[in-house]
Structure 1
């Protein structure tokens, strides 16, 4: 009679630890994938650099942003004035450092406002549908029918030129972008089985939206928010350049470009350095946003 040998895998604490799967937090996994993207890390470094400049501007800037020396106007870059001086003898390096605080403040606050309002409207439109979706979607279509910069100019023209009104205008023109993005996401989420199960056990719409729909919509909101900050900085600079944003002597980068446009040949550094600051900041947020998109996209898991 033949004997059958059955191989039974060994058991015990050692083998349990060997076969035990390591549970990784989703956000740690996102950070791990983000770090693998070298360009995203470069963008994160650029953004972090400008954020630190904005936070410690009072200690880093060698001069005050309003400090004028008329006998030193249009000095070329030197050891005393690293980026030279403008038409009023103000130190451009110091004004760019303080300008980082203004540009980032406008970018973060305007995008935060548009993300909150747009996401709220998008969730309502996608979850309830019918006439709610129709009204909100037509509202988005009306806002998107206008070129963004022209709509921002119109809003500032009605409210009056100032940095705060420019912030409000930038927030308004970004609302439909977040709204349509979240709406499309919610249309998919509300068909999932866990939403059906939540309704079956009697969970109210408020709890479903807060505990299930919103958390599963955060990934595209975060990615779009990062990219929208770059757009908001450009739009704030455009409004400042047109004289409808920050007013003198606020060291806003767009306003600095507008004030220096008549001296491009005589003193090119007055235009070059503010333009480079805008370009680097926008580049940093775009690179970081692309990295977050890849890290948060489940299709990129492998």
Structure 2
């Protein structure tokens, strides 16, 4: 009987083990159920691969000029046609993906870091600290984002790096206010009060307890903000305040080709299509993450 009992599996233990699922696996399963989110993820991965492999798959260099082939229509030799300098548009779009994604990722990274830091400080300490930081956010949000970005670039000077800095600055309030509202609710939880009661230092409470429990909205906002940053970078490039020639930034390509809208519409169509698809991909993926990670959306 003892040997039989040892070899007989405990159904209770089996059930408990089967029910324990890592949170990331559950989130991934929920994400995979959203077909549009998967489409967005596929678009994003596709453009990231294109950006990484641009030197390998681009048929020409993005600086190569051949004036005898200027403004050629799409063909087997030049799939997306050529621009007014005879440069291959497909090659420039592939290399331009590097610039747009680089600006999108690093500008959002900068705004997320500084915005999160300011939002945590404002929400945790409150009082006059919260008032000062919140008023700064309100002043920045009072200006249209593109006008504020233009002002920053006008002060720093037109360049791709300064455009990245400007985009990071104008997105700081979005992350700051989001994190501040989350911290205001998290700091009222019992485990935070218990940590204060035992004398735990503020920096440990902030970065070991409050920040990890505030990451969900930051991740969702960051994904959506990358799409916005790509559009803002293209807008600054279109105005001549972002990437400078001969860098193949998509907004700059649109600006250089706007006078050929009737004569050579492909010079505008393909860069515009690249911007639209990339932004669409990040927006669809961000919406899917929000549906998975936001408890209100689950309900």
- Is 1:14 the counterpart of 2:10 in the alignment? yes
Residues 201-240 of structure 1: pairs in structure 2 closer than 5 A: 201-240=198-237
Separation of aligned partners in 2, 1:230 and 1:287: 10
The answer (yes or no) to whether the contact 2:119–2:175 under 8 Å persists in 1 is yes
Of 99, 107, 111 in structure 1, the residue corresponding to residue 104 of structure 2 is 107
Separation of aligned partners in 1, 2:113 and 2:13: 45
TM-score normalised by the chain length of structure 2: 0.96
Query: Which of these two proteins has the greater Rg computed from alpha carbons?
Result: 1
Deviation at 1:200, TM superposition (A): 1.5
1:50 is aligned to: 47
Separation of aligned partners in 1, 2:148 and 2:117: 22
Separation of aligned partners in 2, 1:14 and 1:79: 67
Separation of aligned partners in 2, 1:234 and 1:189: 33
1:271 is aligned to: 268
Deviation at 1:298, TM superposition (A): 2.1
Deviation at 1:26, TM superposition (A): 1.5
> What SS does structure 1 have at the residue aligned with 2:10?
helix
2:4 is aligned to: none
2:290 is aligned to: 293
> What SS does structure 1 have at the residue aligned with 2:243?
coil
Deviation at 1:84, TM superposition (A): 0.1
Aligned length: 292
Deviation at 1:24, TM superposition (A): 1.5
CA RMSD of aligned residues (A): 1.2
Could you list the structure 1 runs, at least 4 aligned residues long, displaced by more than 4 angstroms after superposition: none
Separation of aligned partners in 2, 1:20 and 1:233: 46
1:8 is aligned to: none
Deviation at 1:18, TM superposition (A): 4.0
Of 185, 194, 199 in structure 1, the residue corresponding to residue 191 of structure 2 is 194
Separation of aligned partners in 1, 2:137 and 2:295: 28
Separation of aligned partners in 1, 2:172 and 2:52: 28
Separation of aligned partners in 1, 2:16 and 2:213: 28
TM-score normalised by the chain length of structure 1: 0.95
1:129 is aligned to: 126
Of 143, 148, 153 in structure 2, the residue corresponding to residue 151 of structure 1 is 148
> What SS does structure 2 have at the residue aligned with 1:83?
coil
